[in-house]
Structures are given as structure tokens and as C-alpha cells.
Amino acid sequence: MNIEKKIGLITRNAKEILNEKDMKKVLKKKNLIVYCGYEPSGEIHIGHLVTMMKVLDFQRAGINPIILLADWHAWLNKKGDWDSLEKQVKIWEKGIKAVGLTKARFIKGTDFQRKTDYIDDIMTMALNTTVNRGLRSMQAIARDINNAKISQIIYPLMQIEDIKVLNLDFVVAGLEQRKIHVLGIELFQKINMKKKPIFIHTGLITSLRGPGDKMSSSSPEGMISIRDSKLEIAKKIKKAHCITGKTNENPILEITRYLLFPKFEKLVISRSKEHGGNKTYMNYETLEKDFASKKLHPLDLKNAVAESLEKLLAPIRKAWK
């Protein structure tokens, strides 16, 4: 695969790219590494699949994936005790492999984050970061941010240090992580980090309940787990927020954009002749345009999304059992 094709593959659907100017130069090197980290807590849901499928794009482009199962981050963010997190690490590794990241190297946070050099860098960054800046970087991530603990300010500094220790070329994350990465770019010099990775930020899938929240395992009715049954998927999609003509914060449209078109490269709408007949969309942009102009009814879109989402999740669900 040539460099131009690699760039097209790894940047498609990206909402933001930091250090993009270095892309071609980096891709000329060998043994490149891309990373994505997850707090191993709760259900793996289709919101997580957005970044997982982006890492899959890197894997297809011949770039080596590292998946960080961030147990210490999860503990600091009040996502569970050590016994439950240890169990979740095993569940998440199995689930992520089922998505298709079979070439990924899985690393548990506590396996490398308790070393002296690591802690020294955290303290150096703490000396150069205000409390307000640390809190702002965590606004879209921290649990109960209005009553944030000091642990939740340490969290972003650890995430920055992870990038240094793992010696990464690319970082994949949801857009909610961008403030941490911007802070990292400012702090890398303070911890003598010379290698600056390229950050690929993906979009987020809105809660099925509608605008205001991203999809989260803390709200089961607003998310679809990768082990939900075909019937459960259909029920949740049918109830999901999807107002005629409204494209902003529309979870059904976001599912088509970030998951279905990258996977299947088309979406088939089945409907009667009196309602326009069947139609096959070959790209997201045309589908969104028809939905915005009310040429595509929400129910017809939901039916197609439920069917295609089941095709996407069925083999993952089977492999995870």
C-alpha cells in the first residue's frame, strides 16, 4: 500500500488531526506504532468501536497496534476496585480481539506505570500544570467532575507519560481526549520527549437517548453493547433519538458514518415503491443530504441501520462467547 492510500485509510472520518504536517515523513519509517487506550470498566459498546475500527485501519495499513488497558487510570477515575478491574481487563482483551485487532499488543497500565522514572515525569509535569488546566483537560472524561478528586488531575499527566514510555508514532482517541493531548504537546519538552506523535481524534456517537451525552456504559438504555442480541439491537435502534431532517447529534446517522460505511462501504434502504422504493447509498455524504432534505424517513433509516449493525456485531458477539 503506497503512502497516499495509507493516509486516506487512517485519516478517514477523523474529526481532528494534530501534527498532521508530519504524516508523510512518519509514514516513510518502518516498524511504526499506533496506540489507543481504554479504561476496562463496564460494557464494550459501539461507541468504543469508533476508535477500535480506526485502529483497525492502521492495522490494515501495516502499522503495529498497541492497546493499553488502563486499569490504574480506571481506578483513579473511580471506575472500580482492583479485583473487578482485573476481571474486566481479561474481558476487554477478549472483546477487543473479537473486533478484529488480532495483531494488537495488549498492555496493562500497572505493568509499567509504577516505575521510578515514570513517577518522576508525572511530578515534573505536575510542577508545570495548574489545577485549573488539569481539571479542564478532564471535563469530558472524569466521572463526577464537579466533585473531582486529586486522582482525576493526575490522570491526564499519566496519559501524557504513557505516550512517552510506549514510544508512539500515532495516537488514536475520541475527540473528548483532545484537551489532554494538547496539554501533552505543551509538556513533552518538560519531560525530555523529542518524538512527537500524530494524534487522530475520531468523532463520538451520541447517546441513543439524544443530544447532550455521548454513548456510555453507565447508561445502558443509551448504548448498544457488542454482545447485545439481534432483538435487543432492533429494540434500541427503534427507540433511538432520530428526528426527521435533523443531522446534528443524531446517533443513528453517526452509527452509519463511523461504523457502517467504513465496514460495508454501502447502506441499503429497503422500502415499498410507494415510499420511494429501495435505495443503496454508497457514501455517508449522500445519505446525510437525503436525510436533511427529508427524502429519507427516520424509520426507513433505523430499519437499515439495525439490520447492518447486526451484521457487524454478530461475528464479534460469536467470537467473544
Nearest CA to 217 out of 203, 229, 205, 234 is that of 205
Same domain, 237 and 131: no
Q: Is residue 114 part of a domain?
A: yes
Confidence class of residue 17 from pLDDT cuts 50, 70 and 90? very high
237 phi and psi, to 5 degrees?
-65, -40
**How does pLDDT run across 107-159, given as a tens digit for each residue?**
999 999 999 999 999 999 999 999 999 888 887 776 677 777 888 889 999 99
**Residue ranges of E strands in 19-95:** 33-38, 64-69
| Listed residues 173, 202, 231: the one ending a domain | 202
Parent domain of 303: 220-320
Q: Using CA atoms, how far apart are residues 212 and 258, in angstroms rounded to an integer?
A: 19
Asked if the model's pLDDT at residue 315 lies above 80, the reply is yes
Instruction: Return the pLDDT at 277.
Output: 87
Establish if 209 belongs to a structural domain.
no
Binned at pLDDT 50, 70 and 90, residue 309 comes out as very high
If asked whether residues 18 and 50 sit together in one domain, one would say: yes
Q: Are residues 69 and 192 in the same domain?
A: yes
Whether the per-residue pLDDT at 103 is higher than 70: the answer is: yes
Neighbours of 24 (CB within 10 A): 12
Judge if 57 and 185 occupy the same domain: yes
186 confidence band (pLDDT: 50, 70, 90): very high
pLDDT tens-digit readout, 234-277? 999 999 999 999 999 999 999 999 999 999 999 999 988 887 88
Quote the pLDDT of residue 142.
67
**CATH number of residue 73's parent domain:** 3.40.50.620
Tell me, what's the pLDDT at 124? 97
Q: How far apart are the C-alpha atoms of 8 and 275, rounded to whole Å?
A: 36
Tell whether 194 and 249 lie within a shared domain: no
pLDDT bucket at 220, cuts 50 / 70 / 90: confident
- Does residue 104 share a domain with residue 183? yes
pLDDT on residue 274:
82
Q: Between the CA of residue 2 and those of 6, 28, 56, 91, what are the distances in Å? A: 6, 10, 17, 36
| Residue 321 reports pLDDT greater than 90 | no
Give the DSSP H or E segment for 257.
none
Alpha-carbon span 211 to 250, nearest angstrom: 7
On whether both 144 and 242 belong to a single domain, the answer is no
208 inside domain: no
| Sole residue written with cell 473528548 | 176
What is the reported pLDDT for 298? 96
CA trace torsion 40, 42, 45, 49 (10° rounding): -10
pLDDT in tens, 26-85: 999 999 999 999 999 888 999 999 999 999 999 999 999 999 999 999 998 888 899 999
| Number of independent structural domains in the chain | 2
Q: Is position 238 within any domain? A: yes
Angle between helices 46-60 and 82-99 (to 10 degrees): 50
Nearest 5 degrees, angle CA 320-CA 256-CA 8? 90
- For residue 314, what is the domain's CATH number? 1.10.240.10
Q: Is residue 146 part of a domain?
A: yes
Q: Is 241 domain-assigned?
A: yes
Which pairs from 237-244 meet CB under 8 Å and 24+ separation?
237/208, 237/302, 237/305, 237/306, 237/309, 238/302, 238/306, 239/208, 240/208, 240/302, 241/206, 241/207, 241/208, 241/209, 241/210, 241/211, 242/298, 242/301, 242/302, 243/298, 244/294, 244/297, 244/298
- Domain match, 72 and 29 both: yes
If asked whether residues 227 and 196 sit together in one domain, one would say no
Under 8 Å CB-to-CB from 52, ≥6 apart: which residues?
A: 36, 96, 99, 100, 101
Residue finishing a domain among 170, 202, 234: 202
Residue 166 lies in a domain: yes
**Is 212 a domain residue?**
no
* Residues 26, 108 within the same domain: yes
